Structure formats: C-alpha cells, structure tokens
Structure 1
Amino acid sequence: MADSVGSLDELFEAVDERFDCPGPSDGFFGEDHFFMIEDGQQLVGRKCGETIVLAWSEDESLIQGARELLNSAIAPVPVVGTAGWFVADVAEAGEGGTGAPEHQATAKDLDRLATELGADITEG
C-alpha cells in the first residue's frame, strides 16, 4: 500500500482522510512547509493543521535530509514514513511559537497511519 502514495497530493489526501486536517472553512489555509536541506536544496512539504508536517519526493536524499532536520529538533519528533515520504508531529518541537496551536488536526494517530500505509514509525 505504501506504493500507492505517488505524490504530495496523494499523501495529503491519505493524511486528511485519517486526521481530518483543518481547511479554509476552519480559517486554516494549509500553507506549504519548506525544509531547507544541505547545499541550498529545499523540499516542499505541506501542513495538516499547525503541528503535522508532511513531505513526499522521488528524491530519497531530500526525504532523508528533511528527516535529519526533524531529528535535530529540541524535543523528539514522532515520524511515520518510508524512503519516499514522511508525516511528522512537530507539536513538541518548538515550531510555531508559544501557546496551543489554533488549528489542529482532529486526530493524530501516527501508529494507525503507519500500519495503514505500510510505513515505519520513529521518534526523535
């Protein structure tokens, strides 16, 4: 089933289906999330609410580089993914300032997502 995730749009749809991401009707416009990788490369990802970030790429080195950035966060970041994509919960990583995020996904069951999409889960 992991092979069925063939683009960032497909990954977002899979996450939205399971997590019920907030959308424009909720006042959240799901801006892109940019991961700045070594050598000036960037990986464009997407947000599901203010604390879930996801990315997909045919270039596995970009995915690996973004995952290394997440691993260097102040607090452990739970990450679900394969060599070609990941979904991370950055709620504890100091992203987005202080206070509770206003726009959250309804659910954040990363274990279930990993099982259903045939992915691995890691933390920090």
Structure 2
Amino acid sequence: MSDKTFVFSEAVNGKYIIELYAGDYVMIEETFTDVLLEYDSFVQKINTSFHEGDPRVLKSAIHKMKPLFGFVGLTEIQARCVKFENACQDAPSCSALAAEYGPLFEQLVHARAIIQEEQARLVKFNQNP
C-alpha cells in the first residue's frame, strides 16, 4: 500500500476504488488497463444487440458490461446500467427502449475516455514513487 494518495477525477468514485483495492494503485492501474482492453468489444456488443431488436439479448449485453463500471469506480454509470437492464426485462422491443438507450449509449462511449484518462494518470502516478 502506498503512502501517497491518487486523486481520481470527479466522475470516478475514488473512495470506493481505494477501498475496493485497499489502496493498491498498481492493481488499480492494471484493472483500468484490463477494462480498456475489453471495453470496445462490450460496447459493440451492446450496440449490435440494440439494433438487432431483441431486448433479452440487449439485457444480457448490458448485464455483462455492468461490472466493468464497478471495477473502475464509475458507480453512477453502473447504476444506470442496472436501471436500463431492468427496463429491458419488460420491454416488448428494443425500439421501445430507444429514448433510454440513446443517452445511455452516449454515456458508455464517453466513459471510455474517462477510463483511458484515469489509466494514463495512474501510470504516471505509479512511475513516480
């Protein structure tokens, strides 16, 4: 455990992350790196699922991506995914979810940049003991 503290951006629940990884900033950096490696394929699967029109498949895709946000402290997005996943349960079609899907998808796309920026900052932080 480091004796210095990394200050996460406002979008990231820093207290949650530090507690989750017991202040192990190397592990946090590795986790952000791992999430970025998988991120695009998850987002693509969600987008493909929406356009294919089956809310059950879309629900599954959201369900699989949702934990990634917890791993990187984007707990508000994770909660939004839970809400959307629940909406998928009762939706007759993906088109019925369009009003909720558009803003969520934009947030998913934007979240990648947040994760990438935090990961780069963590790399620099861990390089300077």
How does the TM-score come out when normalised to structure 1? 0.28
Q: Greater strand percent: which structure?
A: 1
How does the TM-score come out when normalised to structure 2? 0.28
Q: Greater helix percent: which structure?
A: 2
